[in-house]
């Protein structure tokens, strides 16, 4: 959950949670929610939140993740989105707002050598346009400081703000913040930085990260003693870009020695560096190239984005999931890939483990493509794998089911029981305090069903004793939950019944195979909650999106949980009934476009495109930004090229005009 500081930053930046909940924000950050499942609005809201907390010094995702996962996703989906067209806003600092002497733009970023080469190609082309010889095309490279952007005019210090207007934070200079190269009448844009070693040694215990500290330098209230000391010792300074050590050379030299040059420049300074900045030096070329509202075209930042790595396997851990399937979890040497540290990766199943030789000591090639879940690309040096014979949780003999190993002890296996209970609360999503650790404590005390948990009172929690089974100290006398915690837990349980919850979510919480949230909702658009338990396979298979195999799995899965379900159902959760399709149609809530995938293109005349998209979503349509085979309708506004239309038609997409669309949704 957000800290006090983060909340205050969001308030100051006037960011409200409209499309996300606080919980969802953190799930996205932890990758528990896949970024491509977010709507555009949710993605942008997440970016706004991440940016505000980052710029304010209280970030919760890394800069690399911000760029390479979330911003990259928006760029991929909506390259023209307004959020990408301007400098990201900065959390409001207290102080006078001023027009900056020079506009401070952002920097375009490249994550691969290829992207840098494309940029160089653009430079060369532009150079040719204005008659500059290639030979004279020289490039200047400086370390890319990971600090706090600001502007010093020789007297005053300003934050970068929105690039045009910043906040006067001269108080930092008054506190003694040194300007590198001062005495030489230095001025210009730069960054507030702190020596990496100094931060590690003296500050890292007190500040989450260096940004956190940099923001503290600008704080309105008196600087704390540690901040003041760092300023006095000149460990923290303002570094104008003009004072940075540079590499300068011709394009051809750079291309030949790219890796070496980058490594060299990277190590030029003792501050945190997260890349290098390359820029053209020729004045007329710079002028010719100009800038977008976001960045100068003659400048680019190169940030490393390693996507492949060879790593050693430390251990393969066997984990029994709630379905009884045992999963091989591969623990590896901590490895940085695309800005995140990877410690674990899944090997999917034991047939693969056996065949490929995925065991302790093996060397594997890891790939993090699409920047989401890292996977094992191939095994470079196999080693003897260990295939478990018994369940790591209950010691039952495992059985093969296709490529998978299964623990058949469904009713008593601790891992299956605990994971099932955990899954319930996680899916319900409206209750705190029932995570893995708590569930384990409850299980040790004989609790094996969610129903039991809901029947517990404060005293029941308080009575529970914990401690490791094999502890020499026989610490079984320790209370699992204190009096206050016990009361909280009972309150939470009660609240989870009072807070309204969608009936499909409630059903999904039971974890029936093939009955995730999406499928549950789909089914409940056709049948009422209690009726689904009496459905025959054929009825389920009739519903769009359910294959026969799925229908079969659902019927047998529902049968297994029926009693448990009814028991919990009788506790009277405040279930919100999913409206049936027939009801939605009657009420005029859905129309022809419900459930259809719609793409809007061109400029619309009846309203803003974004508003029309939002309306379409409300009517149940899936709105996407590009045409694919899955697209049902391409709604064309004005000025749409013939090629775009015929391309869509060739994919079998219905192309309709704006007016036809309005008729479709009953607006005309």
- Site of interaction with Zn ion (CB under 5 A): 391, 393-394, 396, 407, 409, 413
In the complex with Zn ion, which residue's Cβ is closer, 167 or 409? Answer: 409
Q: Is 468 helix (H, G, I), strand (E, B) or coil?
A: coil
- Indicate the residue among 263 and 399 with the shorter CB distance to Zn ion: 399
| Continuous H helices in 450-580 | 450-454, 458-463, 483-498, 503-508, 517-524, 537-542, 548-569
Q: Between the CA of residue 233 and those of 176, 194, 226, 236, what are the distances in Å?
A: 10, 11, 11, 8
* CB of 563 vs Zn ion, minimal distance in Å: 22
Residue 397 Cβ, how far from Zn ion at the closest point, in Å?
Answer: 10
Rounded least distance, CB 409 to Zn ion, Å: 5
The encoded tokens of residue 165 equal 């207007």
When the beta carbons of 143 and 328 are compared against Zn ion, the nearer one is 328
Contact 405, 348 (CB under 8 A): no
User: Given the complex with Zn ion, which of 296 and 318 has the nearer CB atom?
Assistant: 318
> Taking the mean position of all CA atoms in its chain, how far away is CA 135?
44
Active-site residue (options: 144, 286, 303, 596): 144
- Give Cα separations from 262 to 108, 247, 259 (angstroms): 17, 9, 5
Shortest reach from residue 420's CB to Zn ion, in Å: 12
In Å, the largest CA–CA distance within the chain is 85
C-beta of residue 322 within 8 angstroms of C-beta of residue 423 = yes
Least distance in angstroms from the C-beta of 386 to Zn ion? 17
Q: How far apart are CA 354 and CA 332, in angstroms?
A: 18
Shortest gap between Cβ of 320 and Zn ion (angstroms)? 5
Residue for token pair 């080693």:
383
Give me the half-sphere count of Cα atoms (radius 13 Å) on the Cβ side of residue 165: 7
- Nearest approach in angstroms of CB 438 to Zn ion is 21
> Shortest approach of Zn ion to residue 439 CB, angstroms?
16
Mutual angle of helices 40-55 and 4-12, in 10-degree steps? 110
Q: CB within 8 A of 145, min separation 6: which ones?
A: 190, 191, 193, 239, 244, 269, 271, 272, 273
| Closest separation in Å from C-beta 428 to Zn ion | 25
Beta carbon nearer to Zn ion, 412 or 491: 412
How far, CA to CA in Å, does 384 sit from each of 52, 359, 372, 380?
Answer: 49, 5, 29, 13
Residues 6+ apart with CB under 8 A from 493: 431, 453, 454, 456
Q: Which is nearer to Zn ion, 369 or 395 (CB)?
A: 395
The b-or-e profile of 458-481 (16+ CB within 10 A means b, else e) is bebbbebebbeeeeeeeeeeeebb
Number of Cβ within a 10 Å radius of residue 24: 18
- In the complex with Zn ion, the residue whose CB is nearer, 396 or 448, is 396
Confirm if 155 and 182 have CB atoms less than 8 A apart.
no
Q: Which of 206, 205, 270 is nearest to 237 (CA)?
A: 270
Whether 114 sits among the annotated catalytic residues: the reply is no
State the nearest-atom distance from the C-beta of 394 to Zn ion, in Å.
3
Please say which residue, 416 or 486, places its beta carbon nearer to Zn ion.
416
Structure tokens at 304: 């490393």
Cα separation, 329 vs 315, whole angstroms: 8
> Which lies closer to Zn ion via its Cβ, residue 395 or residue 606?
395
Q: To the nearest whole angstrom, how small is the minimum distance from the Cβ of residue 416 to Zn ion?
A: 6
| Spatial distance between the Cα atoms of 598 and 578, rounded to a whole number of angstroms | 24
Q: How many CB atoms lie within 10 A of CB 306?
A: 12
Which C-beta is closer to Zn ion: that of 159 or that of 416? 416
Q: What is the DSSP string of 408-435?
A: --TTT-HHHHHHHHHHHHHHH-S--S-S
Cβ nearer to Zn ion, comparing 181 with 392: 392
Cβ proximity of 365 and 308 under 8 Å = yes
Residue linked to tokens 């970030």:
59
- DSSP symbols for 234-271: TSEEEEEGGGS--EEEEHHHHHHTHHHHHHHHHTSSSB
Active site residues: 144
């Amino acid at each position: 959950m957000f800290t006090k500081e983060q909340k205050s930053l969001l308030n100051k930046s006037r960011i409200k949670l409209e499309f996300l909940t606080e919980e969802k924000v953190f799930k996205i950050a932890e990758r528990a929610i896949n970024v491509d499942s977010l709507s555009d609005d949710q993605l942008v809201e997440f970016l706004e939140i991440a940016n505000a907390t980052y710029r304010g010094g209280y970030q919760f995702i890394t800069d690399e993740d911000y760029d390479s996962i979330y911003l990259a996703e928006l760029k991929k989906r909506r390259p023209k989105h307004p959020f990408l067209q301007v400098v990201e806003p900065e959390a409001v600092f207290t102080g006078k707002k001023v027009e900056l002497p020079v506009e401070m733009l952002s920097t375009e970023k490249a994550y691969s050598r290829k992207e840098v080469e494309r940029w160089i190609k653009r430079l060369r082309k532009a150079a040719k346009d204005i008659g500059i010889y290639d030979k004279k095309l020289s490039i200047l490279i400086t370390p890319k400081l990971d600090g706090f952007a600001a502007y010093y005019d020789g007297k005053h210090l300003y934050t970068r703000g929105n690039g045009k207007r910043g906040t006067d934070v001269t108080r930092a200079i008054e506190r003694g913040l040194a300007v590198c190269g001062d005495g030489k009448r230095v001025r210009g844009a730069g960054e507030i930085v702190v020596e990496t070693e100094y931060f590690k040694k003296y500050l890292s215990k007190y500040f989450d990260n260096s940004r956190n500290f940099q923001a503290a330098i600008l704080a309105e209230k008196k600087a704390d003693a540690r901040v003041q000391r760092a300023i006095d010792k000149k460990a923290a300074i303002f570094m104008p870009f003009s004072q940075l050590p540079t590499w300068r050379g011709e394009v051809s030299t750079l291309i030949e020695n790219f890796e070496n040059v980058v490594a060299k420049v990277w190590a030029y300074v003792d501050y945190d560096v997260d890349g290098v900045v390359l820029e053209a030096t020729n004045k007329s070329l710079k002028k010719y190239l100009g800038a977008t509202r976001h960045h100068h075209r003659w400048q680019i930042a190169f940030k490393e984005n390693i996507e492949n790595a060879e790593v050693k396997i430390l251990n393969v851990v066997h984990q029994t999931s709630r379905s009884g399937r045992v999963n091989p979890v591969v623990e590896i040497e901590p490895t940085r890939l695309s800005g995140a540290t990877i410690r674990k990766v899944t090997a999917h199943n034991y047939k693969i483990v056996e065949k490929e030789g995925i065991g302790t000591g093996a060397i594997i090639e890891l790939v993090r493509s699409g920047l989401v879940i890292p996977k094992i690309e191939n095994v470079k040096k196999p080693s003897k794998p260990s295939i478990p014979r018994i369940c790591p949780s209950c010691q039952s003999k495992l059985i093969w089911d296709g490529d998978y190993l299964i623990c058949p002890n469904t009713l008593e296996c601790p891992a299956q029981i605990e994971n099932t209970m955990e899954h319930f609360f996680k899916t319900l999503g409206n209750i705190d305090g029932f995570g893995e650790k708590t569930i384990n404590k409850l299980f040790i005390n004989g609790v094996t069903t969610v129903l039991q948990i809901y029947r517990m009172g404060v005293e029941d929690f308080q009575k529970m004793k914990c401690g490791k089974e094999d502890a020499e100290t026989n610490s079984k006398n320790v209370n699992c939950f204190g009096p206050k915690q016990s009361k909280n837990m009972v309150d939470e349980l009660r609240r989870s019944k009072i807070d309204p919850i969608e009936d499909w979510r409630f059903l999904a919480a039971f974890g029936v195979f093939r009955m995730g949230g999406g499928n549950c909702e789909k089914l409940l658009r056709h049948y009422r909650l209690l009726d689904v338990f009496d459905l025959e396979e054929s009825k389920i298979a009739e519903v769009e999106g359910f294959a026969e195999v799925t229908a079969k799995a659902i019927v047998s899965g529902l049968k297994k949980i029926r009693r448990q379900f009814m028991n919990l159902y009788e506790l009277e959760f405040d279930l919100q009934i999913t409206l049936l399709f027939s009801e939605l149609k009657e009420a005029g809530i859905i129309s022809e476009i419900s459930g259809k995938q719609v793409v809007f293109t061109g400029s619309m005349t009846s309203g803003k495109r974004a508003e029309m998209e939002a309306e379409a979503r409300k009517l149940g349509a899936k709105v996407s930004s590009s045409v694919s085979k899955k697209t049902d309708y391409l709604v064309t506004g004005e000025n749409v090229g013939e090629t775009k239309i015929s391309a869509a038609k060739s994919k079998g997409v219905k192309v309709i005009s704006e007016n036809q669309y309005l008729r479709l949704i009953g607006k005309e």
